[in-house]
């Protein structure tokens, strides 16, 4: 019997993290797979992290947040669990603590990066530099730092296996294909919670409304990104790096049913589309074991589905796609600026500080007004990220008072009209 696969899971307390834990347990139960969880990390919530450590037999846990009540609560919970377990469980803290866990990985191990936001970049880079495969949900790693991550992976031989459903679908479609035959890829977009709302109503959607995703249950940031179509913009950039494709060879299309996840078009006009239930456990499992063997995680009943619906993404209603192409044309640190501006704007929206419609506007302003520089190392990304966050805070603070709550905001002359 082969040795268990050593796995480090970052973002263990989130939506992808929870699904990953479920998939690992299922693989152990139903397929006899064995995982040695060398560590689990989360952002700030102690209880789900401690529970996951208990369930997996993890040897170490790390919490990004070093403050109270998270870290003391984690230490107390882990002390209780460790006394019942037959091995000690180490508790680490902060980005440093997470870095210590990543530094323990070696070739043959797997990092599952399910962190949300640019905070996930450091681990991705550390792992690929050490020749460690990364199952990547954290698309922001590639949006901000693809220009560092991909060359580092090529140099070390580390693989980046996409978990993002569209990219996992394309990855599956490409199995056995000659790269020179590929003409373009098509990423599908559900359209998010507000896809059928008109422009003005969507501009003022509340966080509760924008968080009501029609087909996927996900963490808050990616759900808002879906409502603004920023998610697809980020994914176009992610695909550019993952598949070494020119921007014009990556398309996006609206597909409200979320059944077709990705499509590859070949030179002769033939296409391979990947269909499946809208269930993130499928791409996660493929990333963990590298196959699509059963048991099934759900089945599509094509007879009852009847027809598949596709439509163009309206560029005026969803200008985010255009921004992605602008970012790719600018190059350098533009991806880091774009990503950080979006993270900061989404956080402001979720906190009630700006209307939904301001997110894409503010990000567009950031990429035009903050000069993108060359990207040679992580310090370039950190500087660009910080500049974008400062810019968004200052611009949002300059918005008219009450703008976020008002039925008609006084900024509309600056917003793109449909």
Q: Which residues bind ligand NAD (CB under 6 A)?
A: 11-17, 41-43, 64, 98, 114-116, 119, 137-140, 164-165, 216, 218-219, 221-222, 280
Is residue 238 at the binding interface for Mg ion, with CB under 5 A as the rule? no
Check if the beta carbon of residue 171 is closer than 8 Å to that of residue 264: no
Beta carbon nearer to ligand NAD, 64 or 359:
64
Choices 38-46, 162-170, 248-256, 394-402; region in contact with Mg ion by CB under 5 A: 162-170
| 219 interacts with, out of Mg ion, ligand NAD, none, CB within 5 to 8 A per kind | ligand NAD
> Given its phi and psi angles, is residue 262 left (phi above 0), alpha (psi -120 to 50 degrees) or beta?
beta
Beta carbon nearer to Mg ion, 188 or 333:
188
Is residue 164 at the binding interface for Mg ion, with CB under 5 A as the rule? yes
Beta carbon nearer to ligand NAD, 109 or 164:
164
* Torsion sign, CA atoms 370, 343, 415, 334: positive
Beta carbon nearer to ligand NAD, 221 or 358:
221
> CB within 8 A of 304, min separation 6: which ones?
none
Cα–Cα dist 211/194, whole Å = 9
CB of 162 to ligand NAD, least distance (A): 9
Name which of 188, 193, 189, 195 is nearest 213 in CA terms: 193
CB of 280 to ligand NAD, least distance (A): 4
CB of 409 to ligand NAD, least distance (A): 28
Cα–Cα dist 144/139, whole Å = 9
CB of 186 to Mg ion, least distance (A): 13
Beta carbon nearer to ligand NAD, 75 or 204:
75
Nearest-CB residue for Mg ion: 164
Check if the beta carbon of residue 143 is closer than 8 Å to that of residue 238: yes
Please spell the DSSP secondary structure of 65-118, one letter per residue.
Answer: --STTHHHHHHHHHHHHHHHSSS--EEEEHHHHHHHHHHT--TT-EEEE---SG
| 110 interacts with, out of Mg ion, ligand NAD, none, CB within 5 to 8 A per kind | none
First to last CA, the chain: 61
CB of 203 to ligand NAD, least distance (A): 23
Beta carbon nearer to ligand NAD, 59 or 261:
261
Check if the beta carbon of residue 187 is closer than 8 Å to that of residue 249: no
Please spell the DSSP secondary structure of 162-180, one letter per residue.
Answer: E-SHHHHHHHHHHTT--GG
Per-residue binding letters, 382-411, with Mg ion (x by CB under 5 A): ------------------------------
Q: Name the site residues for Mg ion (rule: CB under 5 A).
A: 164-166
């Amino acid at each position: 019997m082969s040795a268990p696969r050593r796995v480090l899971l970052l973002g263990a307390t989130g939506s992808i993290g929870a699904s990953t834990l479920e998939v690992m347990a299922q693989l152990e139960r139903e397929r006899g797979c064995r995982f040695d969880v060398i560590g689990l990390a989360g952002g700030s919530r102690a209880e789900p992290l401690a529970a996951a450590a208990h369930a997996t037999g993890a040897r170490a846990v790390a919490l990004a947040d070093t403050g109270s009540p998270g870290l003391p609560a984690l230490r107390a919970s882990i002390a209780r669990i460790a006394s019942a377990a037959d091995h000690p469980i180490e508790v680490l803290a902060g980005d440093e603590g997470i870095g210590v866990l990543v530094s323990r990985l070696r070739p043959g191990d797997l990092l599952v990066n399910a962190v949300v936001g640019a905070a996930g970049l450091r681990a991705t880079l550390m792992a690929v530099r050490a020749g460690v495969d990364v199952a990547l949900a954290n698309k922001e790693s590639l949006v901000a730092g693809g220009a560092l991550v991909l060359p580092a992976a090529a140099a070390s031989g580390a693989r980046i296996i996409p978990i993002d459903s569209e990219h996992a679908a394309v990855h599956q479609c490409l199995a056995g294909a000659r790269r020179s035959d590929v003409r373009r890829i098509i990423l599908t977009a559900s359209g998010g919670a507000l896809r059928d709302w008109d422009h003005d109503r969507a501009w003022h959607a509340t966080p509760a409304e924008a968080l009501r995703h029609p087909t996927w249950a996900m963490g808050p940031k990616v759900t808002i990104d879906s409502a603004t179509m920023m998610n697809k913009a980020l994914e176009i950039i992610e695909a550019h790096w993952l598949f070494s494709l020119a921007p014009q060879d990556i398309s996006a299309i609206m597909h409200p049913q979320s059944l077709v996840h990705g499509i590859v078009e070949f030179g002769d006009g033939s296409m391979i589309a990947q269909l499946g239930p809208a269930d993130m456990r499928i791409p996660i499992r493929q990333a963990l074991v590298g196959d699509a063997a059963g048991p099934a995680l759900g089945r599509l009943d094509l007879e009852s589905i009847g027809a598949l619906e596709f439509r163009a993404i309206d560029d005026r209603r969803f200008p985010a796609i255009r921004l992605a192409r602008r970012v790719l044309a600018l190059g350098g640190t533009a991806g880091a600026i774009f990503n950080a501006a979006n993270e900061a704007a989404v956080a402001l929206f979720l906190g009630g500080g700006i209307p939904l419609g301001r997110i894409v506007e503010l990000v567009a302003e950031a990429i035009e007004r903050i000069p993108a520089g060359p990207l040679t190392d992580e310090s370039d990304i950190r500087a660009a990220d910080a500049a974008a966050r400062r810019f968004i805070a200052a611009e949002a603070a300059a918005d008219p008072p009450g703008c976020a709550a008002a039925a008609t905001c006084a900024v509309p002359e600056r917003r793109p009209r449909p």
